[in-house]
Structure 1
Amino acid sequence: MTKSSKILIIGGHGRVALLATPLLVDAAQQVTSLYRNPEHRSEIEALGATPLERDVTALSVNDWAELLKDFDVVVWSAGNGGKGGADATYAIDRDAAIASIDGAASLGEQAPRYMMVSYVGATKHTIAPENSFYAYAEAKKAADEHLAASGLDYLILGPSALTMDEVTGVEVVADTQEAAAGRSTSRILVAQVLAELAARDSFPQARVLPFVDGVEDVKSIQ
């Protein structure tokens, strides 16, 4: 039986996090949800999570270490979402994510397991600098590569183009944009995968999990 873990979701008011939180709570996990806007507190409490109001861009590596030391699993699901231009994207999706990784890694043997919500083929992107998606692609590439080199017990989730479609299952694919071409991944499925794997006693052996909507049960992921 999976034991109850202390799980921190960073970016707790994002759409995936809001979908994943009740799944984790229903699985008897102890969920803390980190968010920035004080207006979101009641919504997060209603889902059964413990609210934690912080601005990820204002936290130093030492701040992160102090914050993360009491958790078993940390899930980075925060993102700028294209608001505020490239500078804001780099500040949240790259710099804050990297600071949190370094904070976790500084805890040594007491470090939590770390799950990063990214996208399929993030470290292999070929987005042109003039493309509006470039800053996000560069930020996620940097964060994912930093996590891979951190020494943490980690897992990178790599969904394809996100939708809000209803889903029947999952299909694991290669970690390339070509493998996911023409395929999509429901945010509902991302939440299901996140909740399933964060609640397990250990992550899958593969460090990167690229996936799209499919027919296999999420519990079959190895």
Structure 2
Amino acid sequence: MATTKVLLLGGHGKIALHLTPLLLAKSWNVTSVVRNSDHESEITALGANKPGKIDVLVDSLDDVTSIDRAEKVLDKVNPDIVVFSAGAGGKGGPSRTKAVDEVAAKHYITASVNRPSVKKFLMVSYIASRRGRPSWWTDDDQAAAENVNTKILPAYFAAKVEADEHLAAAAKKRNEKDSSFQAINLRPGTLKDDPSDGKVLLGKTPARGDVSRESVARVAAALLERSDTRGWYDLLNGDEPIDDAVARCVKEGWDSIEGEDLDRIYARSV
């Protein structure tokens, strides 16, 4: 059986640094994309005593201004799975946020979804990245989300919601021809550096709350390991073991995209 190959975009981010050894422990090979070559040794060290192989590719998402640039990286790596765990992190202002979180993300989404050999695409987004109001949110949830999206992180919201909708639309078209393709959108709450206790709240969650970055990585690994995970997964700290939470969401057919204008999203040009 061929070894699973993962392209991890934003490889030096805190979630990605937690995720990399989890993927390597599955005997998967990971190509971690970073823009600063100084981080190469730190990432390479994550492969110590792991059965999978780690490679580092120095390439800047700021320069992914066309689908051709994304396709060149995909040609080089030939991944089965693409994970977008990158973000401008507020560095460089709104223009860089748009360049990385929207423009580069959309080019990688399109290039990946159009490539039959890519079987899964996982996006790390955030819990309030949506234009609609889900039925399970309270008035306070909605007010908190609006405050984040319009006053605290307006440029980030504008970029992320565009990328999230683009992935949903592209995946819908891919699934019409290939029902096995998995587009996974993992949507954590406020990120914290606390150690994970292995328990989460996944699926129908409030719009507010914290979650460990390590838990985000562990949930991402659990979602990628299965062949039946797809759609939007909202994530906070909680009381349910991670594998049980993922299995429950799958059994329930849960998708947190519920409440969005799907006709508009699926009509998008991708």
- Same fold judged by TM-score > 0.5? yes
AA paired with 1:180?
A
Match in the other structure for 1:58: 63
Contact 2:112 2:118 in 1 (8 A): yes
Match in the other structure for 1:184: 210
Q: Shift in Å at residue 127 of structure 1?
A: 4.7
CA–CA distance in 1 between the matches of 2:188 and 2:150? 24
CA–CA distance in 2 between the matches of 1:129 and 1:193? 25
Match in the other structure for 1:170: 200
SS of the residue aligned with 1:121? Answer: coil
Does residue 120 (structure 1) correspond to residue 149 (structure 2)? The answer is no
After superposition, where does 1:130-141 map in structure 2 within 5 Å? 131-141=151-161
Root-mean-square deviation (CA, aligned residues, Å) is 2.1
Q: Shift in Å at residue 203 of structure 1?
A: 4.4
AA paired with 2:218?
Q
Q: Shift in Å at residue 164 of structure 1?
A: 1.1
1:71–1:15: structure 2 CA closer, same or farther, 3 Å change rule? Answer: same
Following superposition, which runs of at least 4 residues in structure 1 exceed 6 angstroms of deviation? none
CA–CA distance in 2 between the matches of 1:126 and 1:99? 27
1:3–1:216: structure 2 CA closer, same or farther, 3 Å change rule? Answer: farther
CA–CA distance in 1 between the matches of 2:103 and 2:185? 17
Does residue 195 (structure 1) correspond to residue 203 (structure 2)? The answer is no
Contact 1:173 1:180 in 2 (8 A): no
After superposition, where does 1:21-32 map in structure 2 within 5 Å? 21-32=20-31
1:149–1:197: structure 2 CA closer, same or farther, 3 Å change rule? Answer: same
AA paired with 2:229?
P
SS of the residue aligned with 2:88? Answer: coil
Match in the other structure for 2:14: 15
TM-score, with normalisation over the residues of structure 1? 0.88
CA–CA distance in 1 between the matches of 2:9 and 2:105? 10
Contact 1:162 1:187 in 2 (8 A): yes
Q: Shift in Å at residue 128 of structure 1?
A: 7.6
Match in the other structure for 1:100: 108
1:129–1:164: structure 2 CA closer, same or farther, 3 Å change rule? Answer: closer
Contact 1:154 1:203 in 2 (8 A): no
1:216–1:4: structure 2 CA closer, same or farther, 3 Å change rule? Answer: farther
Contact 2:62 2:96 in 1 (8 A): no
SS of the residue aligned with 1:180? Answer: coil
SS of the residue aligned with 2:123? Answer: strand
Give aligned pairs, total. Answer: 214
CA–CA distance in 2 between the matches of 1:51 and 1:10? 10
Match in the other structure for 1:67: 73
Bigger relative contact order (CA 8 A; separation at least 6): 1
1:40–1:130: structure 2 CA closer, same or farther, 3 Å change rule? Answer: same
The structure having more radius of gyration, on CA atoms, is: 2
Does residue 83 (structure 1) correspond to residue 91 (structure 2)? The answer is yes
Greater helix percent: which structure? 2
> Runs of 5+ in structure 2 lacking a partner?
48-53, 132-144, 175-181, 248-270
AA paired with 1:166?
P
Match in the other structure for 2:184: 155
1:173–1:106: structure 2 CA closer, same or farther, 3 Å change rule? Answer: closer
AA paired with 1:143?
A
1:128–1:35: structure 2 CA closer, same or farther, 3 Å change rule? Answer: closer
Q: Shift in Å at residue 174 of structure 1?
A: 2.3
